[in-house]
Structures are given as C-alpha cells and as structure tokens.
C-alpha cells in the first residue's frame, strides 16, 4: 500500500507539469485497446496514448505493470484491494463476473515500462526525470519522439537537456530520413553511455546507406574509446573487491597455518558458520526488532566472530592439538570435520540456500562514470576488509598475545623454554583465525548465497593466497590476495572466467617453482634451519 500511495503522489506532481489541453486524454476505448488484443495492436494503442498522456494514462499503465487490470463487458477496470474502478474517471464500479485478468508478455511489459519512463520525463522532480532518462537510454522507438520533444522543450537543467538530446538522437537513428540519421550518428559520437554502443551496433546491422554506415562506425569508435577508462577502472575495482574477499577468507588461515602448520580444510565451514550466524541474527531482528532491522548487520558481526571462534577453539582442543607435526593427518581430519559441519547445517537449516538481506544503507551504489558504478555493498566490504586487516596488524604487533604468537611462529621450542604456554597460544590463535573466518562469512552473506557449500568455493583460493604470500606472513597475504584478485579480473576480460582461473593457477605454479617461500619468507632460526 505504501508503494501505491507513493506512486499516486508522484502522479499528482506529474499531472501539474503536463499540457493543460490533455486533462482527460485517456479514453475508455484507448484503455480497452491497450489492455486487450494481440501485442502489436496493444503496443500501437499504447504509443498513441503516450503522445497525449496525462496522469490518468500513467496510473493506468502503472496498474498494467502491477497486473492490476481486468477486462470484462467491453471495458477495462483497475482492480486494487478487491475494488474495481474506471481508469478514465476513477469512479468505483462493480466488477463483471466475466472479467478476466490482463496478461502481458515480456515484450508488452518492456513497452509499458518504457512508456512509464517516458511519462516521468515531465515530472517536476529532477531526480525522477534523471531516473527516467537513464531508463530510456538506448531507446529506439520513434513513437515516443513527440513526448520526448515535449520534455526536451520543458527541460531547464542543462546536463539533463544534453542527455535528453542523446536519447532523442538514438530514436532518430531509426528514421527514414538519411540526413536525420547522419546528424544523429554525429551527435551520438559524443555519448559516454554504454547503452549508446548497443544502439549503434544494432543500427549498423540494419543500415544500408554507405555514408550513414561510415558515420555510425566512426561514432561507435568514439564511444568505445570514451568507455575504455570506465571499463578499466571497473575491472580494477572488481579485482580489489575480489581481493578483499580473498583477504578476509585467507587472513585467519594465514595465522593458523603459519603458526601450527595445520592444513585446515574446515576453514571454509567456519566461514559458513559466520554466514549462518548472520542469517540467525537477521531473523531475530526481523521478528523482535523490526524497527531496527537496518542495523542487524552491526549486531551480526560479533555474533559471527564468536560463533566461529568458539567452534574453532573446540576443534583445536578436541582434535587438532593431537595432530601437530603431522600436516597430512590434519588435512584428512579437518576434511572429515568439514563434512560433519556441512551435514549439521543441513540438518538445522535445510539443504537449500537461505536469504540474507542487505540493509538499506548497503543498497545502491555510487555512479562515478556512465559505465562505472561502485555498489555500496562491495565498497563497504573492501573498507571492512581493510579494518579487519588493521585490527589484525595491531593485535599481532602491539599486544602481548601478538608477541607470543610471533615468538611461537618463529621458534616454538625457544618460546616454550622462555615460559610461553604454547598450547594456550595455539588455542587462542586458532580461535582468532576461526573468528576472522566467521567475519568473512558475515561479509560474504551480503554479496552471495548462503548455503552449506559456501566455504567450498573459497577454500582453494584461500590456500593459494597463503602460499603465494608466504606462510605466516600478514603482509604477503595482503599482496597476494589483492594481486590475485586484480589479475583474475583483468584476465577474465580477455579470456573468460574459466580460462582466467586456469591462467591464474598456472601463474601461481610457475611462481612457486621460482620462489617456493612465497613473496615474503618466514624469518627466524627455525626458518633458516
């Protein structure tokens, strides 16, 4: 209901900006023609109505988009909340027993959405007009040209006028007038929008005039050259985003693997526990604190950390401490533990993926260029990964626990001789690494599916990051995670996702052959022995 009231209020604003001569432009016959018949006839009726559209037309089209229109006894009715009304007068009417739902195929829905966007060009709200122009970019339907000309004449904002001019040029590319097509091609050469590239490519397939075709090719080259930097920056950001996720996943593994030599194949399942802890906290907030739902993620962070840390500590005390010095046996044992944890989650939550919703402040993104938008959830996860890294660096370099961890990592026997309780340090370190895995799971829940197999998709990449960076080396883990993330995304643009993954693996194998100790070698007498 809230969305309906919001839309109706927007329509009142829209009505104030429409031409006064079209107060009742929508007629009963037009409404029926738009709602019934074959798709071609309905689209023709829709285009005729849009050229003289008013608020009633927009309300009727929105009802069609919402599947809230029925047809019966030769009339169209808008049906909301069980009540039928006349689309022209708005008066409440009895709904005939023979009334049937209006069914719109994908093509018709696309035309309705496009028409609604065109109508919003006349809104007094600049943000509404901006969104409408964005929705129409790449539009090639000449039937909407009269409404677009009306909007262009009324537009007072210079940047929006320029964007409208480009939308108009895209439409004119379909004109029968050769001169108009030439002018449109020259105008589109200044565009910085990726939708223009699609329009030009489509038109090139149909164009037969050599001069126009040459102008279209020149415009396409100009648009592609203007988009190249957006594509490059987008690939860099995608690489940093992937690298930050790999960093979160590998950070805890770098500690446990470097400190104890444990090949922890259950590390991915500890991430899974963090993700499911986030799902549980979301459910608690939705049930008991719906007004504070947007802040559930802040409460989920400590819960995810503690859940994974406690499970990790229990695993270390019950199984892993008996297997130190036997890495292959720890691999088999932790692999078995990972299967047990997966089955436990399936028993508690089911085998299907569960939905974790983004808070409103993580939705949307920041538009830097026409072809470059940075999603807020990715930006926040990158910042979160950096914050976790800073916290880990402080803990390792500035605290007593960090001093013990560094001492045991470099030379366990000497640390024990100096009075360090190495068993307790092992438990604390393993719990800390497991807790960071839980934080990684919490972050991953905001960008992907949460299911029993969540950890399996990242465990191999996490080990690659640790090995390339140098076992137990925090700085090496950072360089390796970000480097592999950016390299993978750049290779994807050239070779595709599968070949990029294979190429990265080959590069890692060659790197390890040349430098088996990783980017940064471990320091200490035990490393030199």
Residue among 261, 326, 331 nearest 472 (CA)? 261
Give the pLDDT of residue 55: 73
Q: How long is the chain? A: 529
pLDDT per position as a tens digit, 316-338: 899 988 887 788 888 889 999 99
133-139 long-range Cβ contacts below 8 angstroms, 24+ apart: 133/160, 133/163, 133/164, 133/167, 136/167, 137/163, 137/166, 137/167, 137/170, 137/193, 137/195, 137/196, 138/170, 138/193, 138/195, 138/196, 138/198, 138/199, 139/114, 139/167, 139/170, 139/171
Give the pLDDT of residue 22: 38
- In this model, does residue 387 exceed pLDDT 60? yes
Distances in Å between the Cα of 511 and the Cα atoms of 285, 347, 360, 488 are 47, 42, 43, 15
Is residue 9 within 8 A of residue 69, CB to CB? The reply is no
Residue among 173, 175, 174 nearest 188 (CA)? 173
* Domain spans, the chain: 1-208, 230-358+379-528
Give the pLDDT of residue 438: 92
**Where do we find the tokens 């065109």?**
118
Give the pLDDT of residue 282: 94
Angle, CA 120 vertex, CA 117 and CA 122 arms, to 5°:
140
Give the pLDDT of residue 183: 86
pTM metric for this prediction? 0.69
Phi, psi of 155 (to 5 degrees): -70, 130
Element (H, E) at 71: strand 69-72
Is residue 461 within 8 A of residue 469, CB to CB? The reply is no
- In this model, does residue 155 exceed pLDDT 90? no
Q: How far apart are CA 334 and CA 253, in angstroms?
A: 13
Distances in Å between the Cα of 386 and the Cα atoms of 46, 52, 393, 446, 521 are 52, 55, 10, 17, 23
Fold of 230-358+379-528: ABC transporter involved in vitamin B12 uptake, BtuC (1.10.3470)
pLDDT band at 285 (very low <50, low <70, confident <90, very high): very high
Say whether 29 sits in a helix, a strand or coil: helix
């Amino acid at each position: 209901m809230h969305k309906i009231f919001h839309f109706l209020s927007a329509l009142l604003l829209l009505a104030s900006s429409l031409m006064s001569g079209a107060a009742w432009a929508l007629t009963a016959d037009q409404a029926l023609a738009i709602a019934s018949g074959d798709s071609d006839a309905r689209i023709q009726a829709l285009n005729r109505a849009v050229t003289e559209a008013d608020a009633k037309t927009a309300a009727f089209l929105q009802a069609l988009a919402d599947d809230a229109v029925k047809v019966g006894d030769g009339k169209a009715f808008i049906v909301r909340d069980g009540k039928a009304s006349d689309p022209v007068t708005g008066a409440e009417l009895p709904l005939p027993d023979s009334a049937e739902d209006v069914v719109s195929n994908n093509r018709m829905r696309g035309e309705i959405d496009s028409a609604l966007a065109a109508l919003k060009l006349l809104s007094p709200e600049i943000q509404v007009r901006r969104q409408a122009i964005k929705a129409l970019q790449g539009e090639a339907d000449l039937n909407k040209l009269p409404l677009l000309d009306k909007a262009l004449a009324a537009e007072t904002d210079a940047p929006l006028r320029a964007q409208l001019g480009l939308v108009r040029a895209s439409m004119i590319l379909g004109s029968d007038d050769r001169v108009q097509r030439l002018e449109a091609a020259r105008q589109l050469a200044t565009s910085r929008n990726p939708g223009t590239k699609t329009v030009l490519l489509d038109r090139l397939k149909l164009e037969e005039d050599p001069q126009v075709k040459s102008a279209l090719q020149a415009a396409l080259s100009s648009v592609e050259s203007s988009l190249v930097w957006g594509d490059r920056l987008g690939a860099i950001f995608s690489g940093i985003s992937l690298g930050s996720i790999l960093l979160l996943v590998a950070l805890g593994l770098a500690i446990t693997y470097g400190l104890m030599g444990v090949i922890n194949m259950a590390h991915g399942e500890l991430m899974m526990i963090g993700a499911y802890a986030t799902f549980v906290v979301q459910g608690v907030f939705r049930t008991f604190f719906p007004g504070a739902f947007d802040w559930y993620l802040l409460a989920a962070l400590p819960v995810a950390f503690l859940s994974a840390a406690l499970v990790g500590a229990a695993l270390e005390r019950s199984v892993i401490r008996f297997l130190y010095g036997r890495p292959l046996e720890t691999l088999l044992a932790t692999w078995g533990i990972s299967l047990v944890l997966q089955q436990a989650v399936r028993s508690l939550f089911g085998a299907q993926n569960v939905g974790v919703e983004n808070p409103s402040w993580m939705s949307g993104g920041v538009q830097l260029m026409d072809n470059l938008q940075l999603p807020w959830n990715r930006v926040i996860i990158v910042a979160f990964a950096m914050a976790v890294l800073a916290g880990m660096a402080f803990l390792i370099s500035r605290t007593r626990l960090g001093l013990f961890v560094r001492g045991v990592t470099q030379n366990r026997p000497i640390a024990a001789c100096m009075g360090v309780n190495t068993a307790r340090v092992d438990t604390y370190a393993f719990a800390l690494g497991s807790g960071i895995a839980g934080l990684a799971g919490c972050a991953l829940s905001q960008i992907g599916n949460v299911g029993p197999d969540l950890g399996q998709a990242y465990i191999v990449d996490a080990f690659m990051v640790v090995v390339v960076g140098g076992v137990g080396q925090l700085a090496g883990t950072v360089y390796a995670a970000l480097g592999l993330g950016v390299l993978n995304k750049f290779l994807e643009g050239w070779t595709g996702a599968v070949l990029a993954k294979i190429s990265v693996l080959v590069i890692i194998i060659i790197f390890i052959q040349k430098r088996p100790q990783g980017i940064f070698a471990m320091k200490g007498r035990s490393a030199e022995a």
